Structure 1
Amino acid sequence: MGHIFDQGFRPFFLLAGLWGGLTVPLWLASHGGIVEIAPAYGDRNWHAHELLFGYAATAVAGFLLTAIPNWTGRLPVKGWPLAALAGIWVAGRVAMLSAGAIGLVAAAISDLAFLGALIAIAIREIIRGHNWRNLVVIGLVVLLFIANTLFHVSVATGAQPDFALRMAIATFIMLIVLIGGRIVPSFTRNWLAKRGSKPPASFGRIDRIAMVASALALVTWVTMPFATSTATLAAVASLALLLRLARWRGWATFREPLLLVLHLGYLFVPLGFLAIAAGPWAAVPNGSVIHLWTVGAIGTITLAVMTRASLGHTGRMLTASSVTTVLYAAMIGAALLRALAPVTTIYAELLLLSAAAWSAALLGFAVAFWPVLTGPRRVATA
């Protein structure tokens, strides 16, 4: 454990795996009346909040704290400052569970402190490093903070926080569209170049159209989720994203699951838009749309990035072991089962299978990568 606070990805990827894997069984136990969890929020709202702001935001924090030194050329946040940030995260999780005892205002302040501190650190590093290009990424994290604030305000005023949750989901999807649009073709290009294969297409008009169409469709989905105009914009975004993804030549990476999973995870973004586009005519359940994005896109991409970054930044081979490949399969299986569950007659059974696969993927990551995240860096071999 002596190296856990050497770099941002170490504590936050480990915390993301552990908490993400435990949150779903805790929610199911609460939903089934076995235990009582966060009654001040309700098990459904607590479940949604903790998977978005407890799990996904933590994975984003690990990525940002590792990427920002590369963007700026500055030393990474580590040691006691990093430990303090992790402590703020832990305090937020405890506060969300004990809101009934400490009050909703105290719980909200404690929970919001993590993203607030992360944003302050990120802005400081971006400004000092004069890395203005990536301020847009920090801007999206600010939107996550606003969405989290709206969640707490909604709960405190007795309203359902659906708008805030859609805003958070949309922001995570836009982060995937933006950051995924950088790293997926870049990693693919490097891998294919070593094998003398044709590289992915360079950034161009299709990419710009896909990003703008995605942003517009997400804004309308947040504000008017069931409108025909939203479905139309979602159809355009889905088509543009599929064209963008095809140009990255993901099919040529099938021999390396560490890379292929990034393409498969990104595929869930246009699939979610496609489900929205089909909604007014095919009566696609809202739950299917949400879980194509939350479990499929967010879950798969975060797991893919956590495994790859953990290996790469600790000097290990950039290749997926058989165990890691099983973790990817479990996450993708969880997404497909959860998206299909609302349109079948065995909803409860598929829900349980999906939950088990989700938890197996993330807890499996925490166990398998524990030595990687807590141990010393190796001399790079690849």
Structure 2
Amino acid sequence: MDANASVLISSIESLFIALVAYEVGFRVYRAKGWRNLFFVPLFMLAIFANFASYATIKGMPPFSSSAVWQAMLWWFTLLLSIMGGRVIPFFAARRFQYDKPQPVAWLEWAATLPLLALFVLSFFPLSFATLGQPLMLVAGVAQLARWARWKPWLTLSEPLVWSLMLTYLCLPLSLLSRGLLSNAFASHAMLHLFAVGALGGVVLAMISRVTMGHTGRAIYKGPNMSIAFVAVIAAAVIRSVGVALWPEHMFILIDVSAGLWTLAFAMYVFYFGKMLVTPRVDGIRGKLQTQKTSRGWFFCV
């Protein structure tokens, strides 16, 4: 790829991210939902990483393209940590009618700040080699403690809730395992516990839930996706723990993991695909609006 093409493509991609940041920021401003303003600087970090990724092709920065790839995984970890910490305990408490655990400030910071530090340190490999694992351990312990406060054991009767709990659990387990393992290959394999299990699993659980609500259906009266949720968790365990324990069977295990992951999302398409391309069942035409509740302003469709 020549220099002009790199500049053009990276600029187009970054412009898209900037427009998304503007759209989010504008809606936050209109709704006065200032606690969601963190999305804007988060998108700015993504723009920086995007330009940096193209610069590495030309060997310009003092870090590799792999470092940028690692940094963006930490970016997604940070995003999932913040959003998951808000919506997962809220959904669980609302579904099972118990008081939502109130965030503990120091625990929230302990769970989140190390992830931001890991994002930054990804661009400084020598510093990451020294500080990376201790930061993962701090974040992992804090994330696990925070997850336990959400009372996941109360959610086992509802797939759309326990799926969020179990897939999010992959995040602290990935952090702890990577922080404790000295074997580089095994540590890298455990990265997929987050990428496949937490990131992929939470997305699957969330889109299953959101599709029901935003097509005018009762959220908890839809198709049973338990098999899909178990499949994506199994895919994560096989791709991470399985490969770490039996590296000689790595390619077979990766194929099995990929098959389970594909099955999980294929089930989503099978059950929910038609809902996404047909009118809402309640006859209401979707439109963006803001509503104010006792919890503050929020957007709905």
**Superposed displacement of residue 108, structure 1:** 3.1
Percent identity, aligned pairs only, is 26
Q: 2:253 aligns with which of 328, 350, 355?
A: 350
**Superposed displacement of residue 322, structure 1:** 5.4
Q: 2:53 & 2:266 partners in 1: Cα distance?
A: 27
Q: 1:332 aligns with which of 220, 229, 233?
A: 233
Superposed counterparts of 1:121-200, under 5 Å: 121-157=23-59, 160-193=64-97, 198-200=98-100
SS across alignment from 1:148:
helix
After alignment, is 360-369 or 339-348 more displaced?
360-369
User: Normalization by structure 2: what TM-score?
Assistant: 0.81
Q: Is the 8 A contact 1:192 1:199 kept in 2?
A: no
Deviations 1:83-132 (A, max 9, x none): xxxxxxxxxxxxxxxx9xx9444443444443233222222222333332
Q: 2:113 & 2:13 partners in 1: Cα distance?
A: 32
Aligned length, in residue pairs: 277
Q: Which residues of structure 2 form unaligned runs of 5+? A: 284-301
Q: 2:33 & 2:200 partners in 1: Cα distance?
A: 28
Deviations 1:348-370 (A, max 9, x none): 10011111222222233233211
Q: Quick check: 1:255 aligned with 2:157?
A: yes
Superposed counterparts of 1:7-156, under 5 Å: 103-156=5-58
**Superposed displacement of residue 219, structure 1:** 4.2
Q: 1:271 & 1:284 partners in 2: Cα distance?
A: 17
SS across alignment from 1:201:
coil
Deviations 1:17-45 (A, max 9, x none): xxxxxxxxxxxxxxxxxxxxxxx6xxxxx
Compute the RMSD of aligned alpha carbons.
2.8
Instruction: Call closer, same or farther: CA 1:366–1:142 in 2, change over 3 Å.
Output: farther
Q: Is the 8 A contact 2:67 2:123 kept in 1?
A: yes
**Superposed displacement of residue 341, structure 1:** 1.7
Q: Is the 8 A contact 1:200 1:249 kept in 2?
A: no
In structure 2, give the amino acid aligned to 1:364: M
User: Normalization by structure 1: what TM-score?
Assistant: 0.65
Q: Quick check: 1:237 aligned with 2:237?
A: no
Instruction: Call closer, same or farther: CA 1:152–1:283 in 2, change over 3 Å.
Output: closer
Q: Is the 8 A contact 2:232 2:260 kept in 1?
A: yes
Q: 1:156 & 1:323 partners in 2: Cα distance?
A: 49
Instruction: Call closer, same or farther: CA 1:342–1:276 in 2, change over 3 Å.
Output: closer
SS across alignment from 2:280:
coil
Q: Quick check: 1:364 aligned with 2:267?
A: yes
Q: Is the 8 A contact 2:75 2:116 kept in 1?
A: no
Instruction: Call closer, same or farther: CA 1:356–1:107 in 2, change over 3 Å.
Output: farther
Q: Is the 8 A contact 1:278 1:284 kept in 2?
A: no
SS across alignment from 2:157:
coil
Q: Is the 8 A contact 1:169 1:293 kept in 2?
A: no
Q: 1:211 aligns with which of 81, 99, 112?
A: 112
Instruction: Call closer, same or farther: CA 1:145–1:325 in 2, change over 3 Å.
Output: farther
Instruction: Call closer, same or farther: CA 1:167–1:247 in 2, change over 3 Å.
Output: same
Q: 1:157 & 1:218 partners in 2: Cα distance?
A: 20
Q: 1:199 & 1:124 partners in 2: Cα distance?
A: 32
SS across alignment from 2:181:
helix
Q: 1:168 & 1:199 partners in 2: Cα distance?
A: 35
**Superposed displacement of residue 284, structure 1:** 5.4
Instruction: Call closer, same or farther: CA 1:372–1:223 in 2, change over 3 Å.
Output: farther
Q: Which residues of structure 1 form unaligned runs of 5+? A: 1-39, 41-98
Q: 2:169 & 2:236 partners in 1: Cα distance?
A: 12
